[in-house]
Amino acid sequence: MDIALLIEKVILISVVLGISLVTAMYTTLAERKIAGFLQDRYGPNRAGPFGILQPLADGVKLFTKEEIIPREANRFLFVLGPSLAMLMACVGTAVIPWGEELEIGGRTVSLQIADVNIGILYIFGVVALGVYGIMIGGWASNNKYSLLSAIRAASQNISYEISLGLSLIALLMVTGTLSLGEIVEQQRGFNWNIWYQPLGFILFLTCSFAETNRNPFDLVECETELVGGYHTEYSSMKLGFFLFAEYINIFVASAVMSTLYFGGYNFPGMDALAQAGVSQNWITLIGVGAMFVKVLLFIFFFIWVRWTVPRFRYDQLMKLGWNIMIPLAIANIVITGVVIWLTGN
Amino acid sequence: MTAIFYILAGIMLAAACYVAVSRDIARAVFCFFGVLFAMAGLYIFALADFVAVTQILVYAGGVVVLMIFALMLTDKQLLENIRRGESSGPRLFRARALPSILLALAVFAVLLQVITAVDWGNMAWRHEAVAAGNRITGHENMVENVGVNLMTRYLLPFEVISVFLLAALIGAAYLARGRTNN
Amino acid sequence: MSHFLIVGAALFSIGLYTVFSRKNAILVLIGIEFMLNAAILNLVAFGRYDRIDNEGQVFAIFAIVLAAATVAVALAIIINVYKQYKTIDPDKIKDMKY
């Protein structure tokens, strides 16, 4: 194996992982700030200017708190739960193309860790495995609220995975490839998939809210019914891992949505810039910037929805998933098929 | 590369053995998860990446969740096991398990005998496949080929399986429904 | 090639042992899944020599899908049995009707 390639990939992996962790860290601050704004109060503003050091303070607090493992819990599974949640949240970043190629010293560096030819299925698999952290944690706690929450998490994720997969199938009919790299290249300039798949995008967005257990679908940790849900018995950094994994999931979900429907690193006028003689490296960097702007907008959208829309009831959630989302997703596939057939390609 | 194959196979077999002998059903199910994951790795070594992803999606994403679900709903002993925690280690040899062990070992011996008796280097079909360029080398995009084959050559089994899945869906829903009439 | 088959054979035997020795219907089901997986591993290993038709890989996918359907139905049955008998030990379920 090529040593230079290995070094390049290791650096890329560390950078991507670092950026996703830092983004997730500051999403916690952004969430509290935006919540404050929406509720007409100040958010956290004591640690550093504008509360900018708040995530660090939170981290230190979580690390130094006493760690309690309930006597009645299964220790092995109890520790495994948050670790799995964190792991599954992080591995999703591997197939997302963050930008085009960079030229560094005559070497072309692709800003995608692994362009596997089954990228979408990989994402889908990671999403399917994401529920394990919650299930194992909730189950190992040996607490009835945690157990209820784990059962809710499992049934909610399975139900919404179906419509998630069906909305992706319609997208795949348009793109004709499973590779995320190729899907982004097809959307060059302003030719984004959202123009072809508006209904599919709305379905995907709703499902990603359900899959990341965010309000209005956060029945899994609904305080009013289940105390703390699956993390009732957790304390210290294990609790921190669960909460943090949720923010990484939001980051990954935002990145996936930007990649699949909003052109990833493509931005309007990139061809004009190339013709105007701007070097490829600058266009790539602007593209990475565009990608991040899109991701941050999606993260903002997640937070905005959380603090404005009330929580569903559990039966309403299930009804929405099975009676509305799945028929809509199937209708979307049929419409897409008919349109492709009529337009001849 | 072969080292990774042996590591994966080792993990897989060790986890499978744990499932077979463990008394803690909760851990057994999670080891089952590990077996399925390592199997997906082995499929990738057999250059069948689409099968590997299907394995992860269907088995690890769906089947194991269902199993944990059923376990949560059925097994009262389970909570006891969780409560006992570390004390319930595996117990390898039980007198009543002896016939099963003998049977399993006998089957394994027969299979091993057959596998080692075959001279894999000189199989005619293997040479034919290599000569005709019909061997997967790992550099081609197999997903497209598999997809085209599913929709053309294997269309009939594909449709039969769809009908079968529908039947299974209806059957499972019928079995699991609440009994309101009695 | 023969490595795949040996691993498959070992997994098959472990599955067989699990099916015959365990006293929990869910673990018996897991044993059956082991045996199915061993068969799928063989299909995939031989499928390497079929680049054009993909017979091995396609039928491996079919087998995975069938196994998933089996599990769904079997678990529904197990839950029903549990409701009826309050146990899922296959040896203790002796009545054919209720």
ipTM of the assembly? Answer: 0.81
- Model confidence at A323: pLDDT above 70: yes
Indicate yes or no: CB of A142 within 8 angstroms of CB of B79: yes
What fold, for B1-94? Four Helix Bundle (Hemerythrin (Met), subunit A) (1.20.120)
Residue A44 covered by a domain: no
Three-class HEC string of B73-107? HHCHHHHHHHHHHHHCCCCCCCHHHHHHHHHHHHH
CB atoms within 10 A of CB A70: 17
* Higher pLDDT among residues A244 and A72, named by residue: A244
- Domain range spanning residue A110? 68-343
State pLDDT tens for residues C37-52. 999 988 888 888 777 7
Higher per-residue pLDDT: A106 or A202: A202
For A132, nearest residue in chain B (alpha carbons): B65
Contact between chains at C82 and B74 (C-beta distance less than 8 A): yes
B162 touches chain C (CB under 8 A): no
3-class DSSP assignment, residue B111: helix
The domain defined by C2-92 folds into Helix Hairpins (1.10.287)
Task: Decide if A116 touches B, using CB distance below 8 A.
Answer: yes
Residues with Cβ within 8 Å of residue A333, at least 6 apart in sequence = A166, A169, A170, A173
Mutating which of A84, A118, A166 best tests the B interface, going by the most B Cβ atoms within 10 A? A118
Please give the pLDDT value at position A345.
59
Mean pLDDT of A318-325: 85
| Residues 6+ away with beta carbon under 8 Å from A292 | none
> What pLDDT, on the 0 to 100 scale, is given for residue B130?
74
Helices B64-74 and A131-140: crossing angle in degrees, nearest 10, is 20
| DSSP for residue A178 | -
Tell me the per-residue pLDDT of B65-91, one tens digit each, with 9 for 90 and over: 888 777 777 655 555 554 454 444 444
Strand partners, A218: none
Q: Is residue A58 part of a domain?
A: no
CB contact under 8 A, C26 and B12: no
Mean pLDDT of C7-20: 85
Residue A41 placed within a domain: no
pTM metric for this prediction: 0.82
Give CB contacts under 8 A, 24+ apart, made by B75-81: B75/B25, B75/C24, B75/C26, B75/C88, B77/B25, B78/B25, B78/B26, B79/A142, B81/B23, B81/B24, B81/B25, B81/B26
Asked if residue B179 has pLDDT above 80, the reply is no
**pLDDT at site B163:** 92
Give residue limits of the domains in chain B: 1-94
What does the pLDDT look like over A65-113, one tens digit per residue? 877 777 766 777 788 888 888 888 888 888 888 777 777 766 777 777 7
Identify the DSSP state of B121. Answer: G
Task: With a cut of 60, say whether residue B95 has pLDDT above it.
Answer: no
Are A154 and B68 within 8 A, CB to CB?
A: yes
Structural contact between residues C40 and B54, judged by C-beta atoms closer than 8 angstroms: no
Among the partner residues A73, A117, A129, nearest to B141 by beta-carbon distance = A117
> Is residue A6 one of the residues assigned to a domain?
no
A172/A169 Cα distance (integer angstroms): 5
Phi and psi, residue C86, nearest 5°: 60, 25
The answer to whether B36 and B55 have CB atoms below 8 angstroms apart is yes
Residue B78 has a pLDDT of 54
pLDDT given at position C93: 66
Q: Which of B62, B74, B75 is nearest to B36 (CA)?
A: B62
Q: Do the chains B and C touch each other, judged by at least 3 C-beta pairs below 8 angstroms? A: yes
Under the banding of pLDDT at 50, 70 and 90, the label for residue A24 is confident
**pLDDT (0 to 100) of residue B105:** 86
As a whole number, mean pLDDT of residues B23-37 equals: 81
Position A176 confidence tier, pLDDT thresholds 50, 70, 90: confident
User: What percentage of residues in chain A have a pLDDT greater than 90?
Assistant: 0
